[in-house]
Amino acid sequence: MKKVILLLALALGIASAQAQIPAEVTEVMEKCRAAMTNATGLEYEMDMKAGIGPVAMKMHFVVANKGNLNRTLMSMTVLGTEIVTESGFDGTDTWEIDHSPKGDTITFTHGNKQKKSKNELSYDLDKQYNKAKMKLKDGYYEITFSEPKDKTSEVKSATVKISEKNYVIREMRTGARGAKVTMKITKIRVGLKDSYFKLDLNQYPHAVIIRK
């Protein structure tokens, strides 16, 4: 009986060791989190390509964050028609702009009602996965994560490229049920005023305003 218990404990120990994220990966991710959540505010422009088999969809994002303040612009073209959405949280209200051929509609909701999109960059991959492999190539840390801790997660793997120089994310690739998503950061700006997150209604003189 003691021998069986010892073997079980050994097996569990090996499994636990295999599931751990290497310390060097955790260190890089911690520096990445600090860089991407810069206290003075950080904005990045990102091109995203999502594909399922031969079908591909391209989108462009501009994402800005400073503490709990945020704003996001997303644009894409569907069947020759450009679709643009904007949303944000200014510290008091969540706002969202619906651009349509009939005119703009702006909705304000009190409080922070922003929800994180599955397509946003994640800085916590080392906390979301059990395994990781890292290599340094051409000035970038390339880390591949696998075995999500959440067994119901559709995203089974994720690869992220982080700058060795300033630890900001430059690219992320994910895979889920045959779908592949690639996100590439094309521009980064650091240092944002709080007023940047407040929507200037003077820019939308003819918009329909809804307050909830």
| DSSP three-state, residue 31 | helix
Predicted confidence (pLDDT) per residue in 128-147, tens digit: 999 999 999 999 999 999 99
Pull the structure tokens for residue 25: 């990966």
Q: What is the pTM of this model?
A: 0.80
CA distance 104 to 85: 10
Residue 201 carries which DSSP code? G
Q: Could you tell me if 184 and 47 are in contact, meaning their C-beta atoms sit under 8 angstroms apart?
A: yes
How much is the pLDDT for 53? Answer: 67
**pLDDT tens for the chain, residues 1 to 212:** 544 444 444 444 444 444 589 999 999 999 999 999 999 999 999 999 987 766 778 899 999 999 999 999 999 887 777 888 999 999 999 999 998 888 899 999 999 877 655 556 788 999 999 999 999 999 999 999 999 999 888 889 999 999 999 999 999 999 877 778 999 999 999 999 999 999 999 999 999 999 98
Please, what CATH class does the domain formed by 21-211 belong to? mainly beta
Pull the structure tokens for residue 75: 């644009």
How much is the pLDDT for 157? Answer: 92
Domain ranges of the chain: 21-211
Nearest CA-CA partner of 212 in 53, 105, 127: 105
